[in-house]
Structure 1
Amino acid sequence: MRRRLGLLALAVVPFIALAGCASGSDEGTSASGDTEFVKNDPLVIGYSVYDLQNPYWQAWAAGVKAAAQENGATLVTADQKSSQKEQVSGSLDLINQGISALIITPVQPSALPATIDAAHAAQIPVVIGDIGTAGDYDTYVLSNNYNGGEQAAQYLIDQAGSSTDTKKVGVIELHAGSVVGEERVQGFKDALSKDSRFDVVASLSGNDTVDGGYSAAQDMLSANSDLDIIYAANDASAVGAQRALETAGKSIANGFTLVGFDGNDDALGLIENGLMSATIAQDPYGQGTAAVKAALALLNGEDPGFSDPDTKTVFFPVEVVTQETVVDFKAGRANR
């Protein structure tokens, strides 16, 4: 499979190399100075998106589109439909259309290197958005997941106030191997470990789903009937956990604390109705705009503003949304 991907990449390079030399194009050097990128006129940005059936990626795509329009660029989109095969073929097709910059939210980061090599051979910068990375990408844009975990822990500490009571905590992780999930959990545990009042008694995978979150929460509650808190590393698992709480006769109104991560509509609805305590909200729209800004900076030979230059990463901030702030948060999102 890897050899076939390499052949596909080579097949599209000659056409793009010619397009990059067309009249009306500007040349810029990458921030690292390793690759000279070509900014064609008219300016076209390609976005290879994970799955446009998913509201999260719809918001990401909306951010990319808005930023592209604001900067006078045409946007061409390829929907990967949660398929690694579509990720590879769709991305290479975008390269073959003579784009100036490529943004990818990958289904499988391990499939990125051949695409990145083909883009670089055509003097096209590659910005990876969320999920994970591989290969010689130029910028990686994603939420600050570790800090989000820290914020979740700080929310619990703030809620506890001056109480000296010990709280038992359960953690619902994402699927094994999820880099962003590991960061969300590690940030949470690291920050919470500094307060001796909190004791993490269970840490189970929810497989990123409502059903998985339900099962994980049920197992935790069965083994720890006096559990006080559940932190779920995504909102789907938190929604499942809330259903498990109902089954167990526990609720936020009766003192249980349930915190999720994402800022999905389902979780926001539960928070608004007093059935969930908080979520750590991501901003996929904002990440999409940041990805376009990074791509344009690379084309202009400018620094994309790395948060971590060693990994060429731009971290996008996250925020805690509670019952007190959820209405304003939803209103701000709707006004975009």
Structure 2
Amino acid sequence: MRSGTTAFALSAVAVLALAGCASGSDQGSSAAAEGGTVEFEAKDPLTIGYSVYDLQNPYWQSYAEGVKAGAEEAGAEVVIADQKSSQQEQVSGSLDLINQGISALVITPVQPSALPSTIDAAHGEKIPVVVADIGVEGDYDGYILSNNREGGQLAAEHVIEKLGGTPGTHKVGVIELHAGSVVGEERVAGFVDRLAEEDNFEVVSSLDGNDTVDGGFTAAQDMLSANPDLEVIYAANDDSAIGASRAMETAGVSVANGFTLIGFDGSDAALDLIEQGVMSGTVAQDPFGQGQQAVKTALALLNGEDPGYSDEKAKTIYFPVEMVTQENIAQFREARASQGS
């Protein structure tokens, strides 16, 4: 049953996209096809649709709660479609939201390459599209994401502060996100580029952790085996860092004995390990705040207002990140709890 529904949704998106490009009868679709400005239209009741990556993931649960909070504050309703980490669900679920008469679409894409047809379909109905994290393609109207490069720099600053004054060359390992991940590339580049400005740090290994605990374990195990004098591991997400912590335990090295292990995300599991002294820190994102910002951006676009892009050419708003360590984790968790995330 599901395969038939998905096939219909894919066909419908294609038809809408072709109609928008070929007929020229709808001003919004025509403008989108020409790279111009779409004339958006608020519908009654005012409803925000959120096509969310996967609601089994705590990060996206928090993002969805932020979308709900932002909508409630604006007096808008919310309809959520769970993509369940499926590109097909992303396309069919987003189209279903569009067909429900939403006024604005927020979407976290499983595969950004699937976005253009969805955006064309939304623009055909005069609906603005705000992409929430992961990556972008097509004529989107806004893009919200963490300042990933800055996050990598913050992680590097922590390492430099801890080890920079100690004589000798300090060996560093990096666990990357999956190949082709733009946010992963930015997180790694920010970290590596900042360390390169110092004379006493050397990145001796940079391996793909496949974004998972198991992948992080394998990558860290390989690094530690090849470099017994490794002092630092920076992982581009918390799951990989958690896997690295298990490899460290197997290898007999620990944060308590001077090793530095930093993750990226600010997940509850990583925060627990920081409190236990197993991880040194994590670069924390704010999915709840980003969800609120995505709604604000969508409504600004709908009302013809300036969304306040950080990068106007890329139609991007960068959301700040924060370095969390044992020194500030209590305050961080208190602030997060007050968000309701």
User: Please, what TM-score do these two structures have when normalized by structure 1?
Assistant: 0.92
* Partner residue of 1:5 out of 10, 13, 24: 10
Q: Specify the SS of the correspondent of 1:170.
A: strand
* Partner residue of 1:69 out of 60, 72, 84: 72
Aligned-residue offset at 1:299: 0.7
Q: Distance in 2 between matches of 1:34 and 1:11?
A: 18
* Partner residue of 1:232 out of 227, 235, 239: 235
Match of 1:190 in 2: 193
Aligned-residue offset at 1:6: 5.6
One-letter amino acid of the structure 1 residue matched with residue 283 of structure 2 = I
Q: Specify the SS of the correspondent of 1:37.
A: coil
Q: Distance in 1 between matches of 2:44 and 2:189?
A: 45
1:257 and 2:246 correspond: no
Q: Distance in 2 between matches of 1:64 and 1:4?
A: 25
CA RMSD in angstroms, aligned pairs only: 2.1
Is the contact made by 2:164 and 2:200 (CA closer than 8 Å) also made in structure 1? no
Report the number of matched residues: 321
List runs of 5+ in structure 1 lacking aligned partners.
15-20, 22-31
Q: Distance in 1 between matches of 2:220 and 2:254?
A: 13
Q: Specify the SS of the correspondent of 2:136.
A: coil
Q: Specify the SS of the correspondent of 1:116.
A: helix
State the identity as a percent: 67
* Partner residue of 2:115 out of 112, 115, 118: 112
* Partner residue of 2:90 out of 87, 97, 102: 87
Q: Distance in 1 between matches of 2:56 and 2:186?
A: 26
Match of 1:26 in 2: none
Q: Deviations over 1:51-91 (max 9, x none)?
A: 11110000000000000000000001111111111111110
Q: Specify the SS of the correspondent of 1:51.
A: coil
One-letter amino acid of the structure 1 residue matched with residue 192 of structure 2 = K
Q: Specify the SS of the correspondent of 1:267.
A: helix
Q: Distance in 1 between matches of 2:16 and 2:263?
A: 45
Q: Specify the SS of the correspondent of 2:324.
A: strand
Match of 2:126 in 1: 123
Matches within 5 A, 1:245-324: 245-324=248-327
Q: Distance in 2 between matches of 1:151 and 1:144?
A: 11
Q: Deviations over 1:258-295 (max 9, x none)?
A: 01000011110000011110100001001100100000
* Partner residue of 2:333 out of 314, 330, 335: 330
Q: Specify the SS of the correspondent of 2:41.
A: strand
Q: Deviations over 1:111-156 (max 9, x none)?
A: 1111100100110000000011111000000101011001111111
Is the contact made by 1:12 and 1:95 (CA closer than 8 Å) also made in structure 2? no
Tell me: CA distance 1:208–1:143, structure 2 relative to 1, closer, same or farther (3 Å).
Answer: same
* Partner residue of 2:38 out of 35, 39, 55: 35
Q: Distance in 1 between matches of 2:228 and 2:7?
A: 50
Q: Distance in 2 between matches of 1:194 and 1:124?
A: 45
Q: Specify the SS of the correspondent of 1:203.
A: strand
Q: Specify the SS of the correspondent of 2:172.
A: strand
1:212 and 2:215 correspond: yes
One-letter amino acid of the structure 1 residue matched with residue 307 of structure 2 = P
List runs of 5+ in structure 2 lacking aligned partners.
1-5, 20-25, 27-34
Q: Specify the SS of the correspondent of 2:178.
A: coil
Q: Distance in 1 between matches of 2:94 and 2:151?
A: 30
Aligned-residue offset at 1:185: 0.3
Is the contact made by 2:50 and 2:106 (CA closer than 8 Å) also made in structure 1? yes
Is the contact made by 2:16 and 2:124 (CA closer than 8 Å) also made in structure 1? no
One-letter amino acid of the structure 2 residue matched with residue 138 of structure 1 = D
